[in-house]
Structure 1
Amino acid sequence: MSIAFLLTALVVTVTPGTGVVYTVAAGLSHGRRASVVAAFGCTLGIVPHLAATITGLAALLHTSAVAYETVKYLGVGYLLYMAWAVYRGKGALQVEEAQPRPAARVILSAVLVNLLNPKLTLFFVAFLPQFVPSGASGSVGAMLRLGAVFMALSFVVFTAYGLCAAAVRDRLLARPRVMTGIRRVFAACFVGLSARLAVA
């Protein structure tokens, strides 16, 4: 396993993006369990990108402007929907003390957050092949192993972010105005992420 791969993958996962924002929001609103479930869902959202890279679909996305734009604007639309839901006090930052949000719902939202991100697929297209010998036997297996390492790092980093957010949850719940301000900040983050994706 290349040290360069591990370091680069760690930098990519630690840098806040849609997965981190969603996981932190889940930790703040629903606590530790939800943050871990959200981290798991965001990690699952990487699987289709890895599969697309291995099967060559990512190359099509890279070369076809129509395919790329379609996925990109689906992602933009979903992030804007997330921003609206968070701003209205629903979705990722809907605080429900009595009944926690169903795990399946958290995972579905988390998967969609990463699934509708064409930049993640393009990252796999440009990044992973650099560490796999071209034309060598077992290259698919090597790519799967590297993808698994990237997913493991993502899960650990996202979980750490989420647990840190969950640790200050009780203090924030006692201050409704602060929670309202946080909702607005997170809504702005989702809008900003959607804008960044739109101009990519």
Structure 2
Amino acid sequence: MFGIVHFPFFVAAVFLLNVTPGPDTAYIVGRSVAQGRGAGLMSALGICTGCCVHTIACAFGLTAVLAASATAFTVIKFAGALYLIYLGVRLAFSSAGKSQQARSDAAQDAALAAKSLRQLFLQGFWTNVLNPKVVLFFVSFFPQFVSSETEHKALAFLTLGGVFIAMSVVWCLFLVWVASGVTRRLGGKPGVKKWLDRVVGSAFVGLGLKLATATR
């Protein structure tokens, strides 16, 4: 089908990759624990949308060009690292500010909530798009399941990408559901919530530093 080979092995490999903890898993779990189910959900959807970008780039050869450029790899690596560090610092020091920004107007609260969800989606999206390790994964993993003789390479990559993203969405939703349970149990304890924010923020900073020191 479309030049795809060893499809059952591809599905099995994607399942194993999903259940193996990685930066995206840590990010989704962190958001879910620190900010609840809605935040985790929007972060997961943002990350999976980022995978759509990588899939399209891989299908049309853009990912291979990017992976071959040491300069592009370095630029994206540091951009992604700085972005994660920024998000971590912002989360770690956000609790005090939030306690002083309560508003009584319900419509304004709803507008702010909608804006916050959009921001969470975009943050998840950019943490995935700006991760050069994801670029290298797509360019090294997907071609193994596409026949070199097929005339439909782009369609094969898009199909595999669709399967990868669908399986990832299911797994990410499961992670959000499990991790957000922690927040639901501790939501009424502001002191605990503040420390959760700080711990998760510190974890994001750690992920950013790890990405900054990553090699090809």
Q: TM-score range by the shorter chain?
A: 0.7 to 0.9
* Aligned position for 2:142: 128
Kept after mapping to 2: 8 A contact 1:18/1:113: no
Distance in 2 (CA, whole Å) between partners of 1:155 and 1:29 is 20
User: How far is 1:101 from its partner?
Assistant: 5.0
Distance in 2 (CA, whole Å) between partners of 1:13 and 1:195 is 23
Distance in 2 (CA, whole Å) between partners of 1:139 and 1:57 is 14
Superposed CA offset, 1:34-73 (max 9, x none) = 3322221110011221122122221122221111101111
Distance in 1 (CA, whole Å) between partners of 2:154 and 2:161 is 10
Gaps (5+ residues) in structure 2? Answer: 1-5, 103-108
Amino acid at match of 1:32: R
Distance in 2 (CA, whole Å) between partners of 1:101 and 1:24 is 21
In the alignment, which of 4, 7, 15 is matched to residue 9 of structure 2? 4
Amino acid at match of 1:114: N
* Aligned position for 2:44: 39
Residues 1:156 and 2:155 are matched in the alignment: no
Amino acid at match of 1:158: C
* Aligned position for 1:63: 68
In the alignment, which of 7, 12, 20 is matched to residue 15 of structure 1? 20
Gaps (5+ residues) in structure 1? Answer: none
* Aligned position for 1:24: 29
Q: Which moved more, 1:13-22 or 1:149-158?
A: 13-22
Structure-2-length-normalised TM-score = 0.81
Q: Which moved more, 1:124-133 or 1:134-143?
A: 134-143
Aligned residues: 197
Structure-1-length-normalised TM-score = 0.87
Q: Which moved more, 1:29-38 or 1:157-166?
A: 29-38
Residues 1:197 and 2:211 are matched in the alignment: yes
User: How far is 1:117 from its partner?
Assistant: 0.6
Distance in 2 (CA, whole Å) between partners of 1:16 and 1:167 is 19
User: How far is 1:29 from its partner?
Assistant: 4.5
* Aligned position for 2:126: 112
Distance in 1 (CA, whole Å) between partners of 2:78 and 2:36 is 31
Kept after mapping to 2: 8 A contact 1:23/1:159: no
1:46 is paired with a residue of what secondary structure? helix
Q: Which moved more, 1:76-85 or 1:16-25?
A: 16-25
Kept after mapping to 1: 8 A contact 2:34/2:200: no
